[in-house]
Structures are given as structure tokens and as C-alpha cells.
């Protein structure tokens, strides 16, 4: 597809690749009114208004990594003097 591609369906749309499907974009937004389900192999991630659940046949491992740069020579928490 050279430019824009739009698909609209009254019930559902399936986008698949036999071996792989790749997308490269500046920004990707996926919106669901009721529920979003992502499945890789036998592991499923389900998000809806009431829950975010990961369902897997074996152990689930979660890893989080982040930086917390305060950019301050002196900082304080709950300090009324501001520093």
C-alpha cells in the first residue's frame, strides 16, 4: 500500500500474515470500547474496564525498568521549606 489504507467493517476485521506482520510507525493508537485481547502463543493479555489480566499455561515473569532523575542538588519529600 503506497499511501493510506483504511478498512471498516460492521462486525470484525482480521489482519494477519502467514509468517509475520510488521508495522513501523511514529505513533500507534489502539482503541477498544469494551475489551482488548493480545495473544502470543498460549499467553493472552486481556484488558477491559474492570481488569488487566495475563493468562499463561506456565510461570509469568514481569520486569520493569525506569530512570528517576530528580535534576536537583538537594531535594526533599514532605519538606515545607521547598528543598
- Reported as a single tens digit per residue, the pLDDT across 33-66 is 899 999 989 999 999 988 999 999 998 888 888 8
Q: How much is the pTM?
A: 0.55
pLDDT value at position 30? 85
pLDDT confidence band for 2 (50 / 70 / 90): low
Q: What is the largest CA-CA distance in the chain?
A: 62
Q: How far is CA 61 from its chain centroid?
A: 16
Give yes or no for residue 79 having a pLDDT over 70: no
User: What distance in Å separates the CA atoms of residue 72 and residue 63, rounded to the nearest whole number?
Assistant: 28
Amino acid at each position: 500500500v503506497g499511501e493510506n489504507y483504511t478498512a471498516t467493517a460492521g462486525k470484525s476485521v482480521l489482519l494477519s500474515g502467514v509468517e509475520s506482520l510488521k508495522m513501523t510507525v511514529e505513533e500507534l493508537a489502539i482503541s477498544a470500547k469494551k475489551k482488548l485481547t493480545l495473544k502470543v502463543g498460549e499467553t493472552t493479555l486481556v484488558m477491559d474496564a474492570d481488569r488487566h489480566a495475563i493468562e499463561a499455561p506456565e510461570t509469568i515473569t514481569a520486569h520493569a525498568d525506569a530512570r528517576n532523575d530528580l535534576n536537583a542538588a538537594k531535594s526533599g519529600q514532605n519538606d515545607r521549606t521547598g528543598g
